[in-house]
Amino acid sequence: MKYLLIILLISCVVCITSCDKEYINPSTASPESVTTSSDALMILCAGLQRRFTIGRQSPLYNTVTGGAFGVFGAKTIVVSNVAEFELEVGKGSVSPANGIVSQLWSQAMLGRTEAETVLNNLNQAVFPGDKVGLKGYSSVFYALNVGSLAQFFEKMPLVKDTNAVFATRVEALQKVVSILESADADLATTAPSTKFLSKVPAGIDLKNTVKALLARYYNMLSMAAGTYDAASGNKAVSFAQAASTSIKSEFRFSVGTPNPLGDINVLGIVYGVSDSTLGLKNGLAPVPAASDPRIGFYISKVGVNYPFKGFSSVQATSFPVYLPGEMSLIIAENFARQNQFPQSKTTLDAVLTKTTDIFGVNAAQPAYTGALTQPALLNEIYKQRRIELFMSGQELEDSRRFNRPAPKTSTEERNRTFYPYPLIERNNNTRTPLDPDI
């Protein structure tokens, strides 16, 4: 019954504004019918996770898929999977009609709108624990949806309007961290109620997830304008240090509501990993690949293919919202950008030598012995992000932020820089910007 209510409420969100258009622009959704009570908002909150994680249309599937293909980390098994194959080829082959591009855009826009609906109606909650649960949970999914768009698109609408104005990535990330910081302040003094926690899927630790996402998106913001912003970098370090590395926060699945990556992995007919080195180029791959246990954690080998392991193994495999190693690498990156090289090395070594990771992502490698210079440290930190955070959806963003070799260069490490805007947006919004060159 609970899941039926979720589906009905989400249907209201999608359809309420217009029934005379073939495509309902998600940036114009107006779901007033689900804002009449705290209980209805709690059900809508449960639907936020379902929209973000379930099915091949979900942002989880499409960000992980786009990130892996974008840095040559994946290959299609059957080329009739046209959307995935276009991403594998990359460059001009990725069309505005691509299914992954379109679904990532539309589902993340709808998820953003649904999260805003909860945030804009918190006055429906009478009890503080209910209110902080609603606020924290919807803030997390607002951040994940807008953050996902910022990883793949140059600009995006942040308002509900027929012809919504497009915000820059900097503006989008600033909005994300503002919403998360407000939730962080409330969670510091009030815990989500037992009632609220019983209404949403188990697995997400709100307090630590908000801090981890603040670290992630402040880290993105630190380089989003093209030059390093130390204020954002310092915020990223502060929140990364505050996020727990001993408490799991994860999306949980079952055979009935499967992990979309585990689902295609079991079927074995869509795509797998490109090779035994995760597609790493230009001297970044471990030699031999098997010398790094994380390679064996994330992939297996069957014939000529490399199926997923790790967090994409089977339908019921849980998927982390953030990894402890991500927090350490955020700290190391910002120390390196601020020329605090000994501090950067210390935090980098914590990742390299790790053997007791709560998710089992253990490098068990020697400490870093390279040069204590910014280029050398950033090169190693990027390499460790590619391995530690494999198939996290962050690869394309990382490639840009670390200024890795661009498409159409002799040493290219990615096949796109940003995605084109989907036709479903361009055909319904005259303010849609020109597509990026590549």
pLDDT of residue 160: 87
Domain that holds residue 124: 2-15+24-408
In a domain, 359, yes or no: yes
Say how many C-beta atoms besides its own lie within 10 A of residue 175's C-beta: 18
* Residue 433: burial class (beta carbons within 10 Å; 0-12, 13-18, 19+): middle
- Identify the bridge partners of residue 206 per DSSP, sorted by sequence position: none
pTM of the model: 0.94
Torsion angle of the four alpha carbons 99, 101, 104, 105, in this order, in degrees rounded to the nearest 10: -110
3-state helix, strand and coil shares in percent for the chain, rounded to the nearest 5: 55, 5, 40
In a domain, 317, yes or no: yes
The CATH number given to whatever domain includes residue 156 is 1.25.40.390
In a domain, 108, yes or no: yes
Q: What is the C-alpha separation between 29 and 53, in angstroms, rounded? A: 20
Kindly write down the DSSP assignment for every residue of 147-201, as one continuous string: HHHHHH-SEEE-S--TTPPEEEHHHHHHHHHHHHHHHHHHHTT-PPPHHHHHHS-
Residue 302 DSSP code = B
Structure tokens at 181: 């910081």
- Strand 319-320 relative to strand 271-273: parallel, antiparallel, unpaired? unpaired
In a domain, 427, yes or no: no
pLDDT of residue 33: 57
Number of domains in the chain: 1
Do residues 35 and 121 make contact, with C-beta atoms less than 8 angstroms apart? yes
> Amino acid identity of 1?
M
- Identify the bridge partners of residue 76 per DSSP, sorted by sequence position: 271
Do residues 263 and 316 make contact, with C-beta atoms less than 8 angstroms apart? no
Q: How far is C-alpha 26 from the chain's CA centre?
A: 19
Residue with tokens 């009478």: 126
In a domain, 429, yes or no: no
Q: In whole angstroms, how large is the CA radius of gyration of the chain?
A: 21
Half-sphere exposure of residue 203, counting CA atoms within 13 Å on the CB side? 16
Residue-level pLDDT, tens digit, the chain, 438 residues: 444 444 444 444 433 332 333 333 444 434 555 788 999 999 999 999 999 999 999 999 999 999 999 999 999 999 899 999 999 999 999 999 999 999 999 999 999 999 999 999 999 999 999 999 999 999 999 999 999 999 999 999 999 888 999 999 999 999 999 999 999 999 999 999 999 999 999 999 999 999 999 999 999 999 999 999 999 999 999 999 999 999 999 999 999 999 999 999 999 999 999 999 999 999 999 999 999 999 999 999 999 999 999 999 999 999 999 999 999 999 999 999 999 999 999 999 999 999 999 999 999 999 999 999 999 999 999 999 999 999 999 999 999 999 999 999 999 999 999 999 999 999 999 999 999 999
Minimal CA–CA distance to 414: which of 388, 382, 375, 374?
Answer: 382
Minimal CA–CA distance to 199: which of 54, 432, 434, 2?
Answer: 2
Minimal CA–CA distance to 180: which of 66, 385, 42, 322?
Answer: 322
- Identify the bridge partners of residue 157 per DSSP, sorted by sequence position: 166
pLDDT of residue 104: 99
Contacts of 364 by beta carbon, 8 Å cutoff, 6+ apart: 293, 353, 354, 355
Residue with tokens 């001009």: 92
> Amino acid identity of 283?
G
In a domain, 425, yes or no: no
Q: What is the C-alpha separation between 110 and 142, in angstroms, rounded? A: 10
Do residues 431 and 164 make contact, with C-beta atoms less than 8 angstroms apart? yes
pLDDT of residue 397: 99
In a domain, 120, yes or no: yes
Residue with tokens 């379109």: 102
Measured between alpha carbons, how far apart are the two ends of the chain, in Å? 46
Do residues 173 and 147 make contact, with C-beta atoms less than 8 angstroms apart? yes
Do residues 156 and 172 make contact, with C-beta atoms less than 8 angstroms apart? yes
**What b/e sequence results for 180-198 when a residue is b if at least 16 CB atoms lie within 10 Å of its CB, and e otherwise?**
bbebbebbeebebbeebbe
pLDDT of residue 31: 54
Residue 251 DSSP code = E
In a domain, 416, yes or no: no
Minimal CA–CA distance to 396: which of 407, 388, 408?
Answer: 407
pLDDT of residue 70: 99
